[in-house]
Amino acid sequence: MRILLIICFLLGTVLQVSAQGKSDAKKSAAAKPANGKTSGNPVFPGWYADPEGIIFGNEYWIYPTYSAPYEEQVFMDAFSSPDLVNWTKHSRIIDTASIGWADSAMWAPSIIEKDKKYYLFFGANDIQSDRALGGIGVAVADNPAGPFKDHLGKPLVDKFHNGAQPIDQFVFRDEDGQHYLIYGGWRHCNIAKLNDDFTGFVPFEDGTTFKEVTPEGYVEGPFMFRKDGKYYFMWSEGGWGGPNYQVAYAISDSPMGPFKRVDTILKQDPKVATGAGHHSVIHNAAKDKWFIVYHRRPLGETAANHRVTCIDKMEFDANGHIKPVKITFEGVPKLKVK
């Protein structure tokens, strides 16, 4: 009887391992490119949101939020790729241990290279009033993979100006070399001129530092780029935890606006995913290819933090308007930076 029990136990173990192996193989196959030409969406595994995509040298980089409850969201990873297919993970490029004033909720990174230094702007602590410690910080490193260290020893923006919560920061470099900080939650968006070393701001001619540029429908997640002499301002609408999160845009002759809403260009597809929003844009100038990098919630997922990072192509019509983006499982074609 004992021998029979041992045989049954071993047989059950083998079957369990075999089933697990088939399950893992299925998961692995699902994560691989469908035809060898795309990375597929999501572009890398794990819960990641608010991705900023950018090109440094001969590589694409993505800096996302680690999507977890605020008390666990205390670090950031980065990902790099030479071709939008093969991605390398750079773990914990920054965490709250290196930012003395931050203790929770690091998110929505924005990065810029200047004078061979890499400056990472981030939100921390999710402050709800001017009495709380936190806001928008700046970290610096010699390498896009970090490690990043606190640049100021305090937040760059730690108060509510024009009603804007100091979150969701984006750094825009205009063609004249001027850098602007564009940011804001709670349905208000500000723009401010950064000084040369990113330690503070340069007032506008009227003496003010923060100008409100909030367009109709704005909620959070601003992004700006310049094309054919026009300034394209983009933002997220709706609630980030729900299915109807989406991205809209406006066009102006100046980074200061005014910005009149043109249209929604990124939203959920009931056949693909929900909650598509908080994006960035990558432009491969050598090939004149445009990509939108964003997060979305896989079908069947209801937890607010279950978000994944995806890339799809972005195109323009003859009038310079952004065409509605089709969100896909396929992602974008393999493409070297140069």
The rounded percent of the chain whose pLDDT value lies above 70 is: 89
Q: Establish if 333 belongs to a structural domain.
A: no
Which runs of consecutive H residues, i.e. helices, occur in the chain?
2-31
Q: Which of 2-6, 14-18, 178-182 has the highest mean pLDDT?
A: 178-182
Question: Across residues 47-62, what is the average pLDDT?
Answer: 98
pLDDT in tens, 267-304: 999 999 999 999 999 999 999 999 999 999 999 999 99
CATH number for the domain harbouring residue 166: 2.115.10.20
Q: What is the mean pLDDT of residues 204-213?
A: 97
Indicate whether 112 pLDDT > 50: yes
2-6, 35-39, 254-258: which has the minimum mean pLDDT? 2-6
Q: Which tens digit of pLDDT belongs to each residue from 126-162?
A: 999 999 999 999 999 999 999 999 999 999 999 999 9
CB 49 within 8 A of CB 65: yes
The per-residue DSSP string of 118-143 comes to EEEEEEETT--STTSS-EEEEEEESS
Residue 205: inside a domain: yes
pLDDT mean across residues, the chain: 91
User: Alpha-carbon distance 212 to 215, whole Å?
Assistant: 9
pLDDT recorded at residue 239 = 96
Q: What is the rounded average pLDDT of the residues 243-249? A: 97
Residue 288 lies in a domain: yes
Task: Specify the range with the lowest mean pLDDT, choosing from 37-41, 86-90, 260-264.
Answer: 37-41
Residue 131 lies in a domain: yes
- The reported pTM is 0.89
Question: Are the CB atoms for 198 and 192 separated by under 8 Å?
Answer: no
pLDDT at 39: 85
The Cα diameter of the chain in Å comes to 92
Among residues 314, 296, 306, the alpha carbon closest in space to that of 66 is found at 306
Catalytic (active-site) positions: 50, 220
Residue 11 forms part of a structural domain: no
Assess contact for 297 and 307: CB atoms under 8 A.
yes
Using DSSP's 3-state secondary structure scheme, residue 7 falls into: helix
pLDDT surpassing 70 at residue 183: yes
Contact 216, 259 (CB under 8 A): no
Q: What's residue 33's pLDDT?
A: 40
Give the count of domains, the chain.
1
Structure confidence at residue 338 (pLDDT): 87
Specify if 178 maps to a domain: yes
Q: Is 304 inside any structural domain?
A: yes
Q: Which domain holds residue 201?
A: 53-313
In order of 86, 117, 218, 280, the CA distances from 236 in angstroms are 28, 29, 6, 11
Report pLDDT for 37: 53
